[in-house]
A and B are shown apart, each in its own frame.
Chain A
C-alpha cells in the first residue's frame, strides 16, 4: 500500500509541477494576478507531495519491503537501519527521487523567503523550477520508477553496495545534490530575468545568496566525497580525476566564476550577459553530470548500471533545458546592454580575468572528460585521458587564478592604481617568496613544485591578511570595534580565500613528501616508513551486522614511543560477496598515518600483506574545503541584510518579527540596501 501511495504522490506532484510551470508564467506575462499568485501554494503542494513520495520510499526501505524492486536490489534485512535509510539514494531511481525532493525543498525555500521580491519575478522563478521538476518526475515515472513492485517478492534484498555503507555516503550524496540542485535556483533566476527582460542589477542581487549557498553545499559535497574515497577505497588517494568527479568539479569551477561575476553585476551593473551565461552553464553542467553518471558512456566507479532509454531521456531533457535557455539567451542578451565601463586595472578587470581563467580551467577539465567520447564519435578509436593530463593542464591555469585572487580584494572598483596595489601587497609578496624558498627546504627537500605550491599557499594567506588590514584601517572608531564594522560578506570572502591557501598547502605537501611501504608481515614483525615503525600483532575475527571481518592490531611507534594502535579491517560482505578494505587512519594536524590490510598470505595462517602510508598535511585539503564552505555560508548570511529585513518588517507591520537567517531574506534586504552599502 505504501509504495502505491508513493507512486500516487509522484503522479500528483507531476501534475502540480506542470500546472506551476504554466499558470504563474502566463500570469506573470499577461498580468493575471490570480494566476501569478497561485505559484506559492502550488510550489508548496509540489514540495509536500514529493516529500511524501520520498517518505514512502524511506518507509519501504526501513520496513524491509522487498516486494519493491528497488528496495530488493539495494537493501537487505541485515543492513543497519541508518544505511537502510541512506540506501534510499543508493541507486539510480532513488537518487532521482532525492534530486526532485531537494529541488522542491529549494522551491519551498524560494517561496517562503522571497516575500520582498517583486511577485511576478518569484512566480517566474518558481515556474521555471517547476519545469525542471517536470523533467525529473517524468523521468522517474516513465523510465525509473522507484516504486515498481517485484512479483513474486524477493525473500531478502541484494544489499547495498558495500562501498556505500559508510557515514560518508549518508551525507555525501545529499549535500552534493543540494549543490547541484541549488544551481537550479541561480539558473531559474537568470531565466526569469531573461523572460521578463528586466536584466538590471536587481536580479543578480536576488540570486546572489542562493548561488553562494548552493556553491557552499557543492564545496562541502565534493569535500565529503573526496574524504570518503580517501579512507574507503583503501588507496589513500583523495582525488582520482574520475569522469564523475570531474562532473562535480566543472559546475564548481563555473559556480565559483558565477559567484564572483554576480558580485560585479550586483555592485557595479557590469558583466550582465556574462553572468546570465554562467548561471546557465553552471546548472547545465550539473545536469550533464547526471547524464554522465547514468548513461554508461564512460567507465567510472560512480556509474550506475546503464540503460539506453534512460540515457536518451536525460540527453533530451538536457538539450531542452540547456538548449532552450541558450536560445532565450541568444534572443534576449543583445538587449541587455553592457553596463558601466571600468579601467584596465580595477577590481572588475581582475574579477573578469579570474572568471575567464576559471572558465578555461573548467573547459580543460571538460575536454579531458569528453575527449574520449569525441574521438570515438569521430571514429578515431577510443582512449581515455588520465591524471597526468589533468595535473599538467590544471596547475598552469590555477596558478594565475590564485595570484589574481590575492590582488582582487585590495583593488578598488572601477579604477585602481597599480602603485597602490603594489605598495599594499609588497610584504605579502615578500613573505610568499621567502616561504617558497625556505619552507620546502625545511620540510625535507627543495622541489620546484613544492616551492610553487608554498608560494601560492602563503600568498593566499598573506594577501587575505593584507586585505583585512586594509579594510580595518579604513574604518573609524576604536580599534577593537572596527572588526565588527566590517560586513560578514567580506569576512566570508576572506575565510574562503584563506581556505584556498590551506587547501593548496595540503595538496602540495602531501604530493611532495608522502612516503609508503608494503610488506608481508607475520605476528611480531614490523615495517618502517618515514621514521615510524608499524608492528603487526596479528588479526582476529570480528563480526559486523552484515559482514565478517578480520581486524588487525598494528602498533605504531616512533623513536621507541608508542604513538597509536591502529586497527585496519578486511571485511567480507556476506550478501554481496564482496571484500572491502577498511583502512585505519590515525589523523593528525601535520600528518596522517594510513594503514590498509592487503591479503592474507597464502602459506601462513597469521601473516598478511600490510600497506602503510605517511601522508603529511593531508587533512589540510579538507580543512581548506571546509573553510571555503564556511566562507560561503558567512557570505550568504551577511548581517546587514538581516537587520535591514527586520527594520523593514517592523516598519510594515508594527510588530517585531524576527525571522530565521535565510539567504532569501538577505537577498530581499540587499535590494533595499544595495545603494547604501559599499563593497
Chain B
C-alpha cells in the first residue's frame, strides 16, 4: 500500500534539505544577498540609544557589518579576527547586535574589546531576519552604493580576512562612487 511509503518519502525530502543546507551553507555560502542592496533599517545605537543609524547614512563608503550577540558562543571565536581588522583602520566595521540585552552587550564589548564604529541594537531580531542572520556570526561587506558584495556565515578567521575580505575591500574602495 502506497500510503505507508509517504512518511519515508517525506523524510527523504527532509534529509535532502538538511544535507543541502549543510553543504550549501556554512562558511562559503554564495549568498543570495550578494549583489542586492543592503536591507534598510533604522536602529538605535548601542553606545547612544537616543541616536539612530541607518545604511543610508553610510552611503559613499565601503563598510563591513558583523552580526553578533553577547550570548552567541561562536561569535567569540571570530572576535580576535574582527579586532585585528579594526586595528588596521582600513574599513569601518559596524555591528548588528542581534536579539541581545543592551546591558549585557555593552559589558561584553567592554571586556572583549569593541571593534565597531558603532553597533545597532536589533532587540526584536527583525533586522537580523532581513539580513538572514541564522547561522552564528555573519559578516557582510557593503560597497559605496549600498550593495552587499560579500557575505560570510560563521566565525571570522584571519585567513578569510587576508584572502577574501581585505582584497575585496581594497578593490571596492578603488572603485569609486557612482553617485
- Beyond A315-B22, A377-B17, A382-B134, is A329–B129 a contact (Cβ under 8 Å)? no
Contact B33 A381 (CB under 8 A): yes
Interface string of B15-59 (1 = CB under 8 A from A): 101111110111000011100000000000000000000000000
Cα(A572)–Cα(B103), bound, Å: 13
- Beyond A327-B8, A374-B17, A578-B111, is A296–B135 a contact (Cβ under 8 Å)? yes
Whole-angstrom distance between the Cβ of B68 and the nearest chain A Cβ: 10
Q: Is A392's CB within 8 Å of the partner chain B?
A: no
Whole-angstrom distance between the Cβ of A339 and the nearest chain B Cβ: 16
Contact B101 A323 (CB under 8 A): no
Contact B15 A303 (CB under 8 A): no
B residues 114-149 touching A (CB-CB < 8 Å): 124-126, 128-130, 132-136
- Beyond A301-B71, A329-B4, A581-B104, is A381–B32 a contact (Cβ under 8 Å)? yes
A residues 350-382 touching B (CB-CB < 8 Å): 370, 372-374, 376-377, 379-382
Whole-angstrom distance between the Cβ of A551 and the nearest chain B Cβ: 16
A373 cross-chain contacts in B, Cβ below 8 A: 17-18, 21
Cα(A297)–Cα(B154), bound, Å: 10
A residues 224-261 touching B (CB-CB < 8 Å): 233-235
Contact A305 B73 (CB under 8 A): yes
Q: Is B77's CB within 8 Å of the partner chain A?
A: yes
Interface string of A293-316 (1 = CB under 8 A from B): 001111101011110100110010
Contact B73 A380 (CB under 8 A): no
Q: Is A45's CB within 8 Å of the partner chain B?
A: no
A327 cross-chain contacts in B, Cβ below 8 A: 8
Cα(A323)–Cα(B25), bound, Å: 23
Contact B134 A296 (CB under 8 A): no
**A380 to chain B: closest residue by CB:** B32
A304 cross-chain contacts in B, Cβ below 8 A: 73
Q: Which of B5, B22, B31, B107 has the most CB of A within 10 A?
A: B22
Cα(A575)–Cα(B153), bound, Å: 27
B160 cross-chain contacts in A, Cβ below 8 A: none
Contact A291 B101 (CB under 8 A): no
Contact A333 B4 (CB under 8 A): yes
- Beyond A161-B73, A301-B71, A333-B4, is A577–B33 a contact (Cβ under 8 Å)? no
Interface string of A268-291 (1 = CB under 8 A from B): 000001000100110010000001
Interface string of B84-113 (1 = CB under 8 A from A): 000000000000001001011011100110
Whole-angstrom distance between the Cβ of A398 and the nearest chain B Cβ: 23
Number of A-B contacts (CB under 8 A): 139
**A280 to chain B: closest residue by CB:** B7
Cα(A394)–Cα(B126), bound, Å: 21
Contact B26 A291 (CB under 8 A): no
Cα(A301)–Cα(B98), bound, Å: 12
**A579 to chain B: closest residue by CB:** B107
Count of chain A residues with Cβ under 8 Å from any Cβ of B? 56
B interface residue count range (under 10 / 10 to 19 / 20 to 34 / 35 or more): 35 or more
Contact B31 A382 (CB under 8 A): yes
Contact A376 B104 (CB under 8 A): no
Q: Is B74's CB within 8 Å of the partner chain A?
A: yes
Q: Is A318's CB within 8 Å of the partner chain B?
A: yes
Q: Is A148's CB within 8 Å of the partner chain B?
A: no
Contact B74 A330 (CB under 8 A): no
Contact A384 B26 (CB under 8 A): no
Q: Is A63's CB within 8 Å of the partner chain B?
A: no
Whole-angstrom distance between the Cβ of B132 and the nearest chain A Cβ: 3
- Beyond A383-B132, A577-B111, is A326–B71 a contact (Cβ under 8 Å)? no
- Beyond A299-B72, A306-B136, A330-B8, is A599–B103 a contact (Cβ under 8 Å)? yes
Q: Which of A306, A308, A374 has the most CB of B within 10 A?
A: A306
Q: Is A153's CB within 8 Å of the partner chain B?
A: no
Whole-angstrom distance between the Cβ of B137 and the nearest chain A Cβ: 8
**A611 to chain B: closest residue by CB:** B103
A306 cross-chain contacts in B, Cβ below 8 A: 26, 74, 136, 154
Cα(A304)–Cα(B77), bound, Å: 12
Cα(A201)–Cα(B125), bound, Å: 49
- Beyond A326-B7, A327-B8, is A299–B133 a contact (Cβ under 8 Å)? yes
Q: Is A396's CB within 8 Å of the partner chain B?
A: no
Q: Is A609's CB within 8 Å of the partner chain B?
A: yes
A281 cross-chain contacts in B, Cβ below 8 A: 7
Contact A308 B132 (CB under 8 A): no
Q: Is A322's CB within 8 Å of the partner chain B?
A: yes
Q: Is A37's CB within 8 Å of the partner chain B?
A: no
B1 cross-chain contacts in A, Cβ below 8 A: 333-334
Cα(A615)–Cα(B19), bound, Å: 43
Q: Is A163's CB within 8 Å of the partner chain B?
A: yes
Cα(A234)–Cα(B101), bound, Å: 9
Whole-angstrom distance between the Cβ of A317 and the nearest chain B Cβ: 11
Whole-angstrom distance between the Cβ of B105 and the nearest chain A Cβ: 10
B5 cross-chain contacts in A, Cβ below 8 A: 330
Contact B73 A384 (CB under 8 A): no
A235 cross-chain contacts in B, Cβ below 8 A: 101
Among B20, B72, B106, B108, the residue within 8 A (CB) of A377 is B20
Contact A297 B19 (CB under 8 A): no
Contact A379 B32 (CB under 8 A): yes
Q: Which of A304, A323, A578 has the most CB of B within 10 A?
A: A578
Q: Is A95's CB within 8 Å of the partner chain B?
A: no
- Beyond A234-B101, A376-B24, A381-B33, is A298–B135 a contact (Cβ under 8 Å)? yes
Q: Is A109's CB within 8 Å of the partner chain B?
A: no
B108 cross-chain contacts in A, Cβ below 8 A: 578-579
Cα(A297)–Cα(B134), bound, Å: 7
Cα(A374)–Cα(B15), bound, Å: 11
A318 cross-chain contacts in B, Cβ below 8 A: 15, 18
- Beyond A305-B74, A318-B15, is A326–B107 a contact (Cβ under 8 Å)? no
B24 cross-chain contacts in A, Cβ below 8 A: 376-377
Q: Is A538's CB within 8 Å of the partner chain B?
A: no
A400 cross-chain contacts in B, Cβ below 8 A: none
- Beyond A295-B22, A305-B77, is A234–B104 a contact (Cβ under 8 Å)? yes
Cα(A306)–Cα(B132), bound, Å: 18
Contact B17 A381 (CB under 8 A): no
Q: Is A415's CB within 8 Å of the partner chain B?
A: no
**A163 to chain B: closest residue by CB:** B71
Q: Is A319's CB within 8 Å of the partner chain B?
A: yes
Contact A315 B135 (CB under 8 A): no
Additional A-B contact list (13), CB under 8 Å, known A297-B135, A381-B33: A277-B7, A299-B135, A301-B72, A305-B74, A322-B11, A333-B4, A373-B21, A376-B21, A377-B24, A383-B129, A383-B134, A578-B111, A599-B107
Query: Can you show 6 pairs from A to B with CB atoms below 8 A apart?
Result: A296-B154, A297-B22, A297-B26, A323-B12, A333-B1, A377-B17
Q: A-B pairs with the 9 shortest C-beta distances?
A: A382-B132, A326-B8, A579-B107, A598-B103, A377-B20, A381-B32, A333-B4, A373-B21, A334-B1
